[in-house]
Structure 1
Amino acid sequence: MIWLWVALAIVLVAVVLTVALVVPRRRRPPAPPEPGVDYRPGVGDDAEVPRDTPTRSVGTVAELPVEDVLAPPAEELVAPPAVETPEPTAGRLLRLRARLARSQSGLGRGLLAVLSRDRLDEDAWEQIEESLLTADVGVGATSEIVERLRNRTKVLGTRSPAELRALLSEELVTALLPELDRSLHTLPVAGRPAVVMVVGVNGTGKTTTCGKLARVLVADGRTVLLGAADTFRAAAADQLQTWGARVGAETVRGPEGGDPASVAFEAVKAGTAAGVDTVLIDTAGRLHTKVGLMDELGKVKRVVEKQGPVDETLLVLDATTGQNGLTQARVFTEVVDVTGIVLTKLDGTAKGGIVISVQRELGVPVKLIGLGEGADDLAPFDPQQFVEALLGEA
């Protein structure tokens, strides 16, 4: 029995030794690397600031420069824009006539070249008629001008260039209807400010014209408040406010996409409270063929008139559109009773005869013309100076 227990003990010892020798010993995981020793910088523990890093004492901070201790300001103060003083409008068209002459003198030179011929036959008069029509003078006005020129050259027998130029100048000035009232009604009446609405189709430069018109009024000694009733075009109110800030004029604006009539009403109300001379209201551009938008424009005017009449309704026309501008003018006149025309872009490829045809067809005077992109390139319209620029130097 004893030998049996001894044999079993020997077998167990043999099994244990076999397992220990045959089965490979599992390796322990390597110890974590010691921080800061031969490893990539900024990785793991090496990226952290050790807890025992020396800290600055109160005395140390007190000795630092002020800019190292104080945090920088969260927002820098922006200085308000400097208020500009626009140049006077008196004689402005005369100063800008060179720009008009560059684009329009071709018409004047062409007409004078034909009129100074030794013999004015039917072919010559047809050329004169064609030149006037090409310049967008219009059929009716062209027929009248040609007929009067034919009669006067026959009766007077004028032939010298100076006489022909004077004759043509007289006829063109007559066609421009110099008797029309071109003054801007911008003075306060009965304790309320004058109200000027600016209307027109998209793309005519209407908001820019509003800004330039504000400069015209300020240059003439008026105090102005702007109403940003174009609530649908992105940044239209910002653009108008920038123009106003340059001449010290406040701008009343509403939320984007808001009711334009409400903005216009509040602008007149604010202008009355502030005692300004003129409230200038910029309206959204709209196609004259869109009945709904034209009805909205009529609503804007009716709402404004609850506080008093609108003294001026100025229609901005792009002079480069030529005869197409007449159709626009007719519709706007029917809806809001246009009292004056502002012709823009007359310094470019525009044809100056549109001034004649617009006034003749509508009986509405051209009161202002735009002759460039500069801030002070909007000038009061003067028929005599316009014709002088059209015909060029004598």
Structure 2
Amino acid sequence: MEIVILVVVIAVVALAAISGLVVSGRKKKAAPRAGESPSPASTATRTAPPAEPHVGEDAEGKPEAPGRPVEDVGLPTTEAEAGAPVTEVPAPAEPEIETPEPAAGRLVRLRARLSRSQNTLGKGLLTLLSREHLDEDTWEEIEDTLLTADVGVGPTQELVERLRERVKVLGTRTPEELRTLLREELLTLVGPDMDRTVHTETKGPVDRPGVVLVVGVNGTGKTTTTGKLARVLVADGKSVVLGAADTFRAAAADQLQTWGKRVGAHTVRGPEGGDPASVAFDAVKEGTEENADVVLIDTAGRLHTKTGLMDELGKVKRVVEKQGPVDEVLLVLDATTGQNGLVQARVFAEVVDITGIVLTKLDGTAKGGIVVAVQRELGVPVKLVGLGEGPDDLAPFEPDAFVDALVDGD
């Protein structure tokens, strides 16, 4: 019996010893001594990333609530539905209809502006004519002064000949006598008897408005001139419809429409790049339906050297004439281009029958002789001149006021 008890005790002690060795080994693996490198197995156990969560059908468990398709989700479409205060954006205000100043006498009122730029010609001629001895060299200088001012060769020779004759007969040459002499001869050269009325009366059926076609090259201020001309006509008590036949530039149609709104004139326009002749035709048609007095048609600016574009201009005129004659064809020229403007004028005159000239930027050049040269070249009068950027700075051309500005100055 004692032997059995002894065996059991020995077995228990042995089992306890073995358990202590196993626990000690595990602790050594979990906490390596200083200076030792951790075993690969322990490293892998410590740095392994957590398992990625499952999605969709592989996810464990069920969603808290069943999902809804996006079509059933009501998203706010306006600020009002979202609960936010609605801020109304006011529509842009229409420009107030203006009352243009009377067109009659505008050139007289703008004479100071004109004379500042034209004084070179008048003062130069008066200085030369005031010399004690008018020899050949002096007359050549007078001729050069006129040519430099773009008067043109033919008109210059005519003026010099008349001046020589009158100075010879006059004998004495006081400053006042010379000024009167020069004024009379320049006025004769400009042509005081030419018809400078912008014709807006119908030549054809009485139930059709007068039709004015505005043509010219790029950069002459043609669209602006058309808008200002509308103001001139409204100031004279006429109702106007504008035709934006410059379909190559959307900005041109927008610009013309803005000019029209300022004086209460309706603007007919077409799609960008559309047929200009079609727009011009529709403008005359709408002008007739509205019982307007005048239809102004702004055509696309074109280089006089481009044959295709010039042919298209002829087409615009022919299409408009299916409803009746065109009453006025105004050629817009930039006065600062001088003799180059004459080349343009010749080509336009071959395509459409020019009936009048509009000289823009006349206040920006000292070469006022272009008025004489272009009239002589085309045989048609200058009817309107532009003397500034203001909306009412387009003035009916008045020969007397123009020559006074040349000779008298400020």
TM-score (norm 2): 0.81
1:322–1:350 contact (8 Å) kept in structure 2? no
State the secondary structure of the residue aligned to 1:235.
helix
Secondary structure class of the residue paired with 2:296: strand
1:40 corresponds in structure 2 to none
| Other-structure match for 1:146 | 160
1:184 aligned onto 2:189:
no
Residue 251 (structure 1) shift: 0.8
Alignment of 1:168-207 (within 5 A): 168-188=182-202, 190-207=206-223
Higher CA-based Rg: 2
Greater shift, 314-323 or 107-116, is seen at: 107-116
Choose which of 301, 311, 334 in structure 2 pairs with 1:285: 301
Structure 1 consecutive aligned stretches of length 4 or more whose deviation exceeds 6 Å = 2-10, 25-28
Instruction: Give the secondary-structure state (helix, strand or coil) at the position aligned to 1:347.
Output: helix
- C-alpha displacement at 1:121, in angstroms? 1.5
Between 189-198 and 10-19, report the one with greater CA deviation. 10-19
How many pairs were matched up? 354
Q: Residues 187 and 125 (structure 1 numbering): CA distance in 2 closer, same or farther, change over 3 Å?
A: same
Which of 314, 317, 339 is 1:323 aligned to? 339
Any conservation in 1 of the 2:358–2:382 contact (CA below 8 Å)? yes
SS of corresponding position for 1:384: helix
- What are the equivalent positions in structure 2 for 1:116-265 lying under 5 Å apart? 116-188=130-202, 190-265=206-281
**In structure 2, do the counterparts of structure 1 residues 8 and 251 end up closer, same or farther at CA, with 3 Å as the change threshold?**
farther
1:64-91 CA-to-partner distances (Å, cap 9, x unmatched) read: xxxxx87233321332211110000111
CA distance in 1, matches of 2:328, 2:227: 16
Distance 1:311 1:13, change over 3 A: farther
The aligned counterpart of 1:19 is 26
Q: Structure 2: state its 5+ residue gaps.
A: 1-7, 32-41, 48-82
Matched residue, 2:59: none
Residue of structure 1 in register with 2:401 after alignment:
385
Q: State, as a whole percentage, how many aligned pairs show the same letter.
A: 71
Unaligned runs of 5+ in 1: 29-68
2:361 to 342, 345, 349: 345
Amino acid aligned to 1:270: E
Q: 2 CA distance for matches of 1:185 and 1:94?
A: 22
What SS class does the counterpart of residue 379 from structure 1 fall into?
strand
TM-score (norm 1): 0.84
**Contact persistence 1:158–1:164 (CA under 8 A):** no
Matched residue, 1:50 = none
What per-residue deviation string (whole Å, max 9, x for no partner) do you get for residues 160-196 of structure 1? 2222211111111111122221111113451101111
Do the aligned residues in 1 keep the contact of 2:119 with 2:366 (CA within 8 Å)?
no
User: How far, CA to CA, are the matches of 1:380 and 1:273 in structure 2?
Assistant: 29
**C-alpha distance in 2 between matches for 1:227 and 1:7:** 118
